[in-house]
Amino acid sequence: AAGLSVADGAIAAAIVGEKTRQRESIELIASENFVSQAVLDAQGSVLTNKYAEGYPHRRYYGGCLNVDAVEDLAIERVNRLFGSSYANVQPHSGSQANQSVFLALLNPGDTILGLDLKAGGHLTHGAPVNISGRWFKVVSYGVDPETHLIDMDQVAALTRKYQPKLLIAGGSAYPRTMDFARFRQIADEVGAVLLVDIAHFAGLVAGGVYPSPVPFAHVVTSTTHKTLRGPHGGFVLTNDAEIAKKINSATFPGLQGGPLMHVIAAKAVAFGEALQPSFKTYVQAVVENCRVLAQELADGGLKITSGGTDCHLAVVDLRPIGVTGNIAEETLESVGITLNKNAIPNDPEKPMITSGIRVGSAAGTSRGFGADEYRQIAALMLDTLAAARDETLDARQQDINNRVRQLVAPFPLPY
């Protein structure tokens, strides 16, 4: 914006640089997406000026007429989208949505059971470095070493043995569907609360291409910025009035102060977009494109953990070509393909090295990539990884980067 470039050249230049990076590279980070211009406009609005501690029509500040309308709409739309009864749209992030659940329903020292970080779980599901790991007794379930599927018998056995107060389903690098009915049945055996964290696949649930946990979970948390294609943020859903009340108190004043009303407006816009029939078509394409990408990489000699994907992400085992995850991440970035290294199940490498990468199709599909583009992307990746292995990248980097730019050129971003 002209105002910014005059007032603060350094920040303006970084934003322009980032715009160029986003335009000219292939985005495969599974947790990212490209928001619409409408979402961006709402987030970049005067609502950032407004304090609105409290909830709609029960605020601790005057002048909340307009932001009340915004938050009412966000709540109504997200409930319609997921078929839930109660929603809190104030969590600043997915992590804070999970912390709201912890503060609302647990005490320090309680036991929680979640998917191991090494098997695709999230930091907030009990990693030792996270508040969830520091304040609670953590037990983790994993995936079957052969099938790479969540071992529901292990979940049941650990639940019976450790009697957790909270059972968590969901993760950041799990490519398959989850059996939410079975999770609930297991939770009920010991009176545990079932939390399903849909951060990654929220958009797929909204568009009906991934099972919904809402009928089964006591409480559902999510981010808004991954497959759901909204601004960075979080929310909590439940069908239980008592839990809803506790979540509201835990979010504010328990954890947060003033809600980010500009972000809540952007969330409302994104929820509105996700309610449109075109969003269903989008998420169908996301899953189809990810299947194509995974299959092409497998045909090129790589291994896909669990043998494929049911969603927007796949985890690729690079050991067949003898390149580690960190080297793959670095080399692919050097040709304009962005993704992240990722542990494979029972990875023999350290977390900063890893034997795998995670790929995702949500962002590319938003700019219009289809099966053809994902086939080409797989070929570009395979060429780059082969060059990394053979140490011939210096000679090939420019050529591959030119092909990346050619591929993205017909798919401009709206901004």
* Residue closer to ligand PLP (CB basis): 30 or 302: 30
* Residue closer to ligand PLP (CB basis): 131 or 156: 131
Specify the pairing of strand 54-55 against strand 58-59. Answer: antiparallel
Q: How far is the CB of 242 from ligand PLP (least distance, A)?
A: 24
Specify the pairing of strand 356-360 against strand 193-197. Answer: unpaired
Say if residues 361 and 286 touch (Cβ distance below 8 Å): yes
Say if residues 233 and 224 touch (Cβ distance below 8 Å): yes
Say if residues 356 and 369 touch (Cβ distance below 8 Å): no
Q: How far is the CB of 312 from ligand PLP (least distance, A)?
A: 12
Q: Name the residue among 129, 202, 201, 126 with its Cα closest to residue 165.
A: 126
* Residue closer to ligand PLP (CB basis): 94 or 126: 94
Q: How far is the CB of 172 from ligand PLP (least distance, A)?
A: 3
**CB neighbour burial string for 41-78, b if at least 16 within 10 angstroms, e if fewer:** ebbeeebeebbbbbbbeebeeeebeebbebbebbbebb
Q: How far is the CB of 224 from ligand PLP (least distance, A)?
A: 8
Indicate the residue whose CB is closest to ligand PLP. Answer: 94
Per-residue CA distances from 15 to 24, 25, 28, 366 (Å)? 14, 15, 20, 21
* Residue closer to ligand PLP (CB basis): 84 or 96: 96
DSSP 192: P
* Residue closer to ligand PLP (CB basis): 197 or 296: 197
Q: How far is the CB of 64 from ligand PLP (least distance, A)?
A: 25
Rounded to an integer, what distance in angstroms lies between the CA atom of residue 65 and that of residue 71? Answer: 10
Binding site for ligand PLP (CB under 6 A): 31, 93-95, 122, 124, 170-172, 197, 199-200, 223, 234
Q: How far is the CB of 11 from ligand PLP (least distance, A)?
A: 23
Specify the pairing of strand 137-141 against strand 86-88. Answer: unpaired
* Residue closer to ligand PLP (CB basis): 25 or 221: 221
Q: Name the residue among 15, 13, 29, 2 with its Cα closest to residue 341.
A: 29
Residue 115 has phi, psi (to 5 degrees) of -70, 130
* Residue closer to ligand PLP (CB basis): 361 or 401: 361
Q: How far is the CB of 144 from ligand PLP (least distance, A)?
A: 20
